Structure 1
Amino acid sequence: MAWTQRLARGGPAPAVGRAAGRRLRRLRLRPGQQSAPGRTRWLLALAAGAGTCLIVPQPAGLVAGAAVAAATELLLRRQEPAAVRLEREEAVGALAWAADLVAAALRAGVPLDGAVLAVAAALPGPLAVRLRRIGRSLRLGATPVEAWQHLADLPPAARLLAAVERSAASGTALAGALHRCADDLRADAGFRRQATAQRNAVLVVLPLGLCFLPAFVLAGLVPVVLAVLGEVL
């Protein structure tokens, strides 16, 4: 366990053998499916193309329908599924709490890989999967910077990865850096919630404005314009 203690202090990791390296590569998170299911995607694209063919006169409708179908399929392929987005948001929501727990375990003298695996066993949800991969990567000989790349797909974790890199390079206490990152993550989450609330307030008022403005134009401006035109003409 001496090398795990060196990892916890940010020291160098031992060399990884070929078999361990292969196991480490298999631990990499596979990228989530980034598009809608193929059959559903093509059905929606064909429906959009058929609708365009019915609306646009022939033969231009065939060309327009094919273009709309291709554009629809490409757009749906690039869209992120809602399940993947919700999973990432859930992992981001638990990130600050996990950083605090790992830091507490490190302060108690637990090696870095053991601390991460203990937190992964205690936390439910998608973040636990990433933490388990981090802990297993550390036990296979990965450096802390390499192991914590399993959180690279979470944008708020960039600060956490930078803290791990600084700790591994300078030997500073990783526990203190994790506590500070947890505080920053909570502050960022508060700002995001406030921005979401403000955006939702605008979206709630928007339908009212879309209904009010045409009514104001028809009931207030149109009669005045017609009266003026009647007097002039």
Structure 2
Amino acid sequence: MSAAAGLVAALLVATAVVLLGRPPALGLPPAEAAPGPPEERALLARLRLPLTGLVALGAWAALGGVVGTVAAPVAALVAWRVLGRVEDPAVARRRERLEVELPTGVDLLASCLDAGAAPEAALLTVGRALGGPVEAELLAVHARIELGVDPATVWRDLARHPQLGPLGRTVARAHDSGASVATAVRGLAAELRERAEAEVEARARSIEVKAAAPLGLCLLPAFVLLGIVPLVAGAFASLAVLR
């Protein structure tokens, strides 16, 4: 039974290496490196059943007997549910890119508005300048406004967007209050820059804290050999001399 468990563990490790070790396509940004969403969803769908089978086989091989027979379908059901909730890699990359490029997009939008461009034309310019998912989202907003939808309604709808919500809320408030959209967007750009700088500093501090433990573990043997061992050896030598 232990040999079977070892074989299952080796299969699981090999599967994980194949899944996690696929390098991105060379010469492309991370967002465009992997295959498109349909292919990735198809890959996840194809791997869901074999991975569930491997989990069930591993539970049966590790426990064995009646317990393994009962635990195998339970483990398979749990694995099936967990794998079904795994986020599409393309969706995760899109979300991360929107979060990263939002401050830059708001900065560019504020610059366009300061230069005298209308908000709709500024959306078109910024979207084409950034490309990717930001372009798709901003062009969708521009298209709705061009079709005659009330701009305040469009911006209020954008306020519910998971990543572009701050931009939608800011412009919607400016529309409702009659304030200058350029001033509101400029203030949002400054706020997002400060928030991004604070996040970078927080990450840097967290890296320092996380690096302290491995560094301490690396320095501890040297401290013991160079500091504690000579001290103890000297104490024993002095005791031997006194005798």
Q: Which residue in the other structure is 2:206 paired with? A: 199
Which amino acid counterpart does residue 190 of structure 2 have in structure 1? D
Q: Does residue 44 of the first structure (1) align with residue 18 of the second (2)?
A: no
Q: Give the aligned partner of residue 142 of structure 2.
A: 135
- Judged with a 3 Å threshold, the aligned counterparts in structure 2 of structure 1 residues 39 and 212 are, in CA distance, closer, same or farther, namely farther
- 1:176 and 2:171 equivalent? no
- 1:81 offset after TM fit, Å? 3.3
Report the 3-state secondary structure (helix = DSSP H, G, I; strand = E; otherwise coil) of the residue aligned with 2:148: coil
Residue type matched to 1:185 in 2?
L
Are residues 166 and 80 of structure 1, via their aligned partners in 2, closer, same or farther at CA, if it must alter by over 3 Å? same
Deviations 1:117-156 (A, max 9, x none): 121112233211111111111111223344344574444x
- The residue type paired with residue 112 of structure 1 is P
Let me know the Cα RMSD of the aligned residues: 3.0
Contact 1:134 1:147 in 2 (8 A): yes
Counterparts of 1:1-233 in structure 2 under 5 Å? 37-148=44-155, 149-150=157-158, 152-155=160-163, 157-205=164-212
Q: Distance in 2 between matches of 1:201 and 1:41?
A: 38
Instruction: Check conservation: 1:113, 1:136, Cα contact below 8 A.
Output: no
Please, what TM-score do these two structures have when normalized by structure 2? 0.63
Q: CA deviation at 1:60?
A: 2.1
Residue pair 2:158, 2:169 contacting (<8 A) in 1 also:
no
Superposition deviation, residue 200 in structure 1: 3.4
**How big is the shift at 1:183?**
1.0
Distance 2:200 2:160 in 1: 22
User: Offset of 1:175 from its aligned partner?
Assistant: 0.9
Give the drift of 1:48: 1.0
Question: Using the alignment, how far apart are the partners of 1:112 and 1:105 within structure 2?
Answer: 8
Relative to structure 1, the CA distance from residue 69 to residue 152 in structure 2 (aligned partners, 3 Å threshold; closer, same or farther) is same
Work out whether residues 95 and 182 of structure 1, in 8 Å CA contact, stay in contact via their aligned partners in 2: no
Query: Which whole-Å CA distance do the structure 2 matches of 1:59 and 1:210 have between them?
Result: 45
Query: What amino acid maps onto 1:41 in structure 2?
Result: R
Counterpart code for 1:182? A
Question: Which stretch shifts more, 50-59 or 157-166?
Answer: 157-166
In structure 1, give the amino acid aligned to 2:194. Answer: A
Which blocks of at least 5 consecutive residues in structure 2 are unaligned?
Answer: 1-36, 221-243
Shift of 1:206: 5.5
Query: 1:90 and 1:107 mapped to 2: Cα distance?
Result: 26
TM-score normalised by L of structure 1: 0.66
Cα pair 2:159 2:169 within 8 Å, conserved: no
Q: Which amino acid aligns with 1:68?
A: A
Asked if the contact 1:130/1:151 (under 8 Å) is kept, the reply is: no
- CA shift, 1:90, in A, is 1.8
Gaps spanning 5+ residues in structure 1: where?
1-31, 214-233
